[in-house]
Amino acid sequence: MIGRRTFLATGAAAALARPSWAQDDPIAALVDQVSQEIQVQIVYGLSAFPTRHTEHRDFPQVEAWVSQLMELQGDVTRLAFEMPSGKTRHNLLLGDPTDPRGVILIGAHYDSTSEDPMSAAPGANDNATGVAAMLEAHRILSGAGLDKGVVAVAFAGEEQGFHGSAAVAREARAADWPIEMMINLDMLGWRPPDPSAPMVVEYDMGNVVPGNDAAAEAFGRLMAGVATEYTTLNTTHTDIWSSDYMPFEAAGFPAVGLYDGGVESPRYNTSRDVADVLDFDRVAQATRIVIAAVARFTGL
């Protein structure tokens, strides 16, 4: 388990350790606050659960652990939904999704699966890395004085067909949440055979609602642009596909994502998806992309 004191101390140290060159660029000052140490702790902590399969009887313990992490940054809203099996599970929301200034919603699923999901599904890359990036981005952006709201949401039920994110998207549309962009983070730490392999910046290229394509493309290209300024990662573009942004796109919200190409890994969706083999520098650099893109989008 990860202690509250450890997280707060690590975060404070990261905030203080800013190089002098960053003082003239407010976005550089933000991305420099990304703490790889915090992210390592989150990924190891989440993947230490034997399984995070949403239907497992112990999944409420996973919910409680993730909620505790999120509560370090503010009040957490537990959004109940029902799985096809009849089990009640919860999405976990941090921030005000009704902020009248407009909302950037950053999401990541915290459940996992494998070839034996009821016994062993550590899900370190898929998707503890996305959760770590989401929480670190929210920690930094929520204190940056932006002129829009930044909301983090951890989804359950992704591996069974986006049940959690579909419930949130329905609520967002029904309550008219002013979401200007939905950013989905799903697998960020695969160590590819070629170290120069790109991080994939996904944006909506058609799908259900054509009216949100232009905004998604603009934000996706913004993400690729800030990657060249604030990271050493190469990037490429694809359409959004098979993750939690799909229900939001179908509900009419612009949707983009970051993804590491990890479905090519032999560890993908197996009990061998463990933290020891991950590239945490790629996770941290992906987080820098999110922070820089949101900061620039909001006019910082």
Using one digit for the tens of pLDDT, what is the confidence trace for 192-248? 999 999 999 999 999 999 999 999 999 999 999 999 999 999 999 999 999 999 999
Number of domains in the chain: 1
Residues 6+ apart with CB under 8 A from 212: 204, 249, 252, 253, 254, 255
pLDDT bucket at 24, cuts 50 / 70 / 90: confident
Using one digit for the tens of pLDDT, what is the confidence trace for 168-181? 999 999 999 999 99
Structural domain boundaries, residue 145: 4-297
Q: How high is the mean pLDDT of the chain? A: 93
pLDDT bucket at 23, cuts 50 / 70 / 90: low
Burial degree of 173 (CB within 10 A; 0-12, 13-18, 19+): middle
Q: Is the pLDDT of residue 20 over 70?
A: no
Assign residue 190 the CATH number of its domain: 3.40.630.10
Least confident of 5-19, 72-86, 202-216: 5-19
Using one digit for the tens of pLDDT, what is the confidence trace for 82-138? 999 999 999 999 999 999 999 999 999 999 999 999 999 999 999 999 999 999 999
Q: How far is CA 154 from CA 25, 30, 95, 118, 151, in A?
A: 31, 23, 12, 21, 10
Q: Is the pLDDT of residue 7 over 70?
A: no
Burial degree of 102 (CB within 10 A; 0-12, 13-18, 19+): middle
pLDDT bucket at 6, cuts 50 / 70 / 90: very low
- Please, are residues 141 and 148 in contact by the beta-carbon 8 Å criterion? no
Q: Is the pLDDT of residue 13 over 60?
A: no
- Please, are residues 255 and 249 in contact by the beta-carbon 8 Å criterion? yes
Q: Is the pLDDT of residue 5 over 90?
A: no
